[in-house]
Amino acid sequence: MLQIINLKKIFKIQNNHNIAAIKNINFNCRKGQITGLIGPNGAGKTTTLRIISTIMNPTEGTVLFNNIDVRKEPNEIRRRIGFLTGSTGLYPNLTSIEILNFFCSLYEVDKKKKVITDLIEMLDMESFVNKKVDSLSTGMRQKLSIARTILHNPEFFILDEPMNGLDVLTSQSIRNFIIHEKKKGKCILLSTHNMHEAEHICDEIVLLHKGSIVTQGVPSELIEKEKMKNLEEVFLNFIGN
């Protein structure tokens, strides 16, 4: 289980001016569940995900994954997480198989060849496995990104707007992948702008606004509690449109 305890992040900008991107947030993310992190632009979603994924350090607070402190043992956490964003790039001059080989070596994956063969088969990548990333379509690239994210069999997924800017078919394949991993008992933290998607695939919702959690809970319960028709209305109700 992932535990976010009193997490705070302050960015120092020019003229000794500080901006609190996250203000003492607390939430949990359980195994076999998808936790949706939603909020408008600048709410602090990406900052939260970056802290959890060890890219950033929090100003205050703790992030525990299976009781391992992210700050104290970042390398241990990195081995256990799969990080995917909609904007993540891939090395343009390498082929898909080279990228998979490279990340398998970094994560010290056992039986590298078998893992790669299985992934290629599972994600239907045979047709472009030897092609350079430069020449791949968006859908092919996204499949490769998914393969890269899951090749070390992570226990926990951090997905930052993974369907952002993708067409319907590619979004569908990502959605299928998320649900597939959830069924395998993985812990998934998903940041998204798509309220419809969040309402239907997330088991729990955390709504962030201006760095604070304004509400959290099961989507259907939140809708009922706020007496709204859907999650989008709940979102608008809290954000104040």
Partner 1 sequence: MNIKKILTLFLKEMNEVFRDKKSLTMMIFIPLILYPFVLISTGYFSGNEINKVKNLKQSISIFCPDPMQQVPLIEELKKTLVVIKSTNPRLMLNKGEVEAVVEVNSCRLTGTSEFVIYFDKTRLGSVTAEKKIKVILEKGKKRNIVERLRAYNITEKILENFKIESINIASSDQMGAFIVSKIFPLMILILLFSGAMHNAISITAGEKQRQTLETILVSPLTRTEIVIAKYLTIFCTSLISTIIGLISLYLVFSYGFYMISNLTTESFSLSAVGLLLMFISIIPLSILFSSVLFMVGCWARTYKEAELYNTGILIIIIAIGIMTTNTQENIDINYFLFPVFNVVLTLKELLKEQVNVLHISLTVFTTFIYSFISLIISQRLFSKEAIILRI
C-alpha to C-alpha distance for 139 and 119, rounded to whole angstroms: 16
Q: Which of residues 118-177 bind partner 1 (CB under 8 A)?
A: 132, 148
Q: Which of residues 182-211 bind partner 1 (CB under 8 A)?
A: none
C-alpha to C-alpha distance for 189 and 122, rounded to whole angstroms: 23
Among 38, 44, 45, 85, binds partner 1 (CB under 8 A): 85
DSSP β-ladder status, 2-13 and 60-65? antiparallel
Q: Of the candidates 22, 25, 16, which has an alpha carbon nearest to the alpha carbon of residue 206?
A: 25
Q: Of the candidates 38, 40, 68, 94, which has an alpha carbon nearest to the alpha carbon of residue 239?
A: 40
Q: How many residues are given for the chain?
A: 241
Are 65 and 80 contacting, i.e. CB atoms less than 8 angstroms apart? yes
Residue spans of alpha helices (H) in the chain? 45-52, 74-80, 96-106, 112-122, 138-150, 168-183, 195-201, 219-225, 231-239
Among 8, 23, 71, 78, binds partner 1 (CB under 8 A): 78
Site string for partner 1, 18-57 (x = CB under 8 A): --------------------------------x--xxxxx
106 binds partner 1 (CB under 8 A): yes
68 binds partner 1 (CB under 8 A): no
The phi, psi pair for 186, rounded to 5°, reads -80, 155
83 binds partner 1 (CB under 8 A): yes
Query: In this complex, which beta carbon is closest to partner 1, that of residue 116 or of residue 207?
Result: 116
112 binds partner 1 (CB under 8 A): no
Beta carbon of residue 105, minimum distance to partner 1 (angstroms, whole number):
4
Beta carbon of residue 139, minimum distance to partner 1 (angstroms, whole number):
18
Which pair of structure tokens corresponds to residue 90? Answer: 């891939």
6 binds partner 1 (CB under 8 A): no
Query: In this complex, which beta carbon is closest to partner 1, that of residue 19 or of residue 218?
Result: 19
98 binds partner 1 (CB under 8 A): yes
Chain residues binding partner 1 by CB under 8 A are: 11-12, 50, 53-57, 75, 78-79, 81, 83, 85, 87-94, 98, 102-103, 105-108, 132, 148
